[in-house]
Amino acid sequence: MLPRERIEKVIRLEKTDKVPVAPQVNEHSAKVLGVPYGDVFNDADQAARALLKCYEVYQGVDMSFGGGFGFIYYSPYADAHSSWIFDWKLPVPGEDQVPQMREDQILSSDQYDLLMDKGLLYFIRPGHPGLNDFLGKLVKLSQAMAEVEKKVKELELFHYAMSLINLPSDILANLRGLNGYLMDFYDRPEKLKQACEWMVDDLIAMGLALARQVASSRAGLAQTPTVLIGANRASASYISEKMFEEFAWPFFYREVMAVLNAGFTPVIHLDGNWTPRAHFFRAFPQAKCLFHIDDQNDIFAWKKIMGGHSALMGNVPAALLSRGSVEEVDEYCRRVIEVAGEGGGFVLANACALPYDAKVENVKAMIAAGEKYGVY
C-alpha cells in the first residue's frame, strides 16, 4: 500500500495494512543536515538540501516533511508567525536558534472598533519585511523545492497541508497579548465576539484561496487536498468550556465545515490541552478530519471519545525525542499504538513538530515502532 493511500484510508477509518508514521521535521531538518538552523531558515537551497537529507535518513515515513525555510515569517498572511504584525526574533545565518515571538500588546483594549474599521494591515509593524522581500523569498522557495516535490511524488507521500486557517480568537489573543486577551472575556466580551465574527469569513476565504492555488499548481498529482486549521489559545490550557463554547466553537465549526464543503480535508492541529474539548468535535462529519494533538493531551482519552468517529495523529512528546533513550521512545510508541491504533484511525507522529534537538536515533526508533507494533 502506498504511503499516501495508507493515510487516506486512516482518515476514512478504513482498514489499512499498518499504522502510518509521520514525523514533522521542520527545524530539526537542519540538525539532520549538520548545519546551524539559521542557515536553513535563511537559505531556500539549504532548506531543500536539509529536507532531501531527511528523506534519505528517515526512510519508511508516510507523510511529507515540513521545511525549515523561514518563508511564512516574511508573509503578509493572517498568522501568528508573520513578522509583518508580530514581533519575532528570527535566526540569522550561522546561529543555532529557533524563531522566538516576543509577545507584546499590539491592539489595545479600546481598539477593537479601529481593527474592524481599518483591517489587520493597519497594525503592521514598523520595519516589517516588505512585499519585495516576501516575493523574492517566494520565488527562491519555489525554485529550490522543485527537487523536494519530485522526491515527495516519487515516494507517494501524503501532504500535511496546502494552506492554513487560524481561529479568530487565536489571532486576537496574539494581538492583545495573553493578559489582555484573557481580561477581555470579562471586560469586553461583546467586542471580542464581534471581532471574531468580523474576522472569520476573511480567514476562511484567504485559506481556501491559497489551498486552491496550491492544489492547482499540483494538478495531475495523486493527492488529498488538505487545509491545516491551527488552534491553541481556545484550549483548556487557557479558557473555560463556557468561554470556548461561546467565543471559539461557533467559529471553529464554521471553519471546518467551510473546508469540508470546499472539498478539502481538514488537518486540525491542536496545541495545548484539548482533551476536555474533544467531545465537541464529534459534531463534525464522521471520517472526514485528521486531528493532530500534542503531548499536553491525553491520547488515550481522545481515543475513547473520538475512536470510530475521526482519525487521530500524535503524540510522542518533544522531551522524550530530545532527552529520552531509544528504549523509552520504543516503549512509549508501543503503548500508544496498542491503544490509539486499535481498530485503525491513527497516525503515529511527534507532538506538534519535532524539536530542533531531537536525537536522530530516537526519530528512527519512532519510525521503526510503526513497523514493529503497528501491523494489523
Give pLDDT tens digits for 183-225: 999 999 999 999 999 999 999 999 999 999 988 877 666 678 9
In a domain, 72, yes or no: no
Q: What is the pLDDT of residue 220?
A: 60
State the residue for C-alpha cell 490541552: 273
Which residue blocks in 43-110 are alpha helix, DSSP H?
Answer: 44-57
Report the mean per-residue pLDDT for the chain.
95
Q: Is residue 181 part of a domain?
A: yes
Looking at the DSSP bridge assignments, the partners of residue 269 are 230, 292
Residue 284 Cα distances to 9, 142, 254, angstroms: 18, 35, 10
pLDDT cut 70: percent of the chain above it: 99
Q: Domain of 250: which CATH number?
A: 3.20.20.210
Question: Would you state the cell numbers that stand for residue 102, as one nine-digit string?
Answer: 516576543
Cell match 510508541: residue? 333
The pLDDT, as a whole number, for residue 221 is 63
pLDDT at 56: 98
At 219 the pLDDT is: 64
**Cβ atoms within 10 Å, residue 143:** 12
Locate 325 and state its grid cell: 533513550
CA distances from 2 to 20, 62, 251, 327 (A): 10, 8, 35, 29
Residue linked to cell 507517494: 156
Question: What is the extent of the structural domain holding 348?
Answer: 3-38+57-63+154-373
Is there a domain that residue 124 lies in? no
Cell numbers that stand for 357 in this block: 534537538
Query: 0.85 cut: is pTM over it?
Result: yes
Could you tell me the pLDDT band of residue 264, with boundaries at 50, 70 and 90?
very high
Q: How far, in whole angstroms, is CA 58 from its chain's centroid? A: 20
Amino acid code (one letter) for 267: V
Give the DSSP per-residue string, 118-175. H-GGGGPPTT---HHHHHHHHHHHHHHTHHHHHHHHHHTPBPS-S-EEE-HHHHHHHH
Buried b (16+ CB within 10 A) or exposed e, 12-51: bbeebebbbbbbbbbbbbbbbbebbbbbbbbbbbbbbbbb
Predicted local distance difference test score (pLDDT) of residue 265 = 96
Q: What is the pLDDT of residue 78?
A: 82
Helix axes 146-155, 131-144, angle to 10 degrees: 50
| 111 within a domain of the structure (yes/no) | no
The structural domain count of the chain equals: 1
Residue 327 falls inside a structural domain = yes
Contact 309, 282 (CB under 8 A): yes
Asked whether residue 258 is assigned to any structural domain, the reply reads: yes
Segments of the chain assigned E as strands: 88-89, 100-101, 164-166, 226-231, 265-270, 290-293, 311-316, 346-350
CA distance 6 to 12: 10
The closest of 226, 111, 230 to 169, measured between CA atoms, is 230
Residue 43 lies in a domain: no
| Phi, psi (deg, nearest 5) at residue 230 | -100, 140
Residue 174 binned pLDDT confidence (cut-offs 50, 70, 90): very high
- The DSSP bridge pattern shows strands 88-89 and 100-101 to be antiparallel
**Angstrom distance (rounded) from CA 309 to CA 172:** 31
CB 67 within 8 A of CB 148: yes
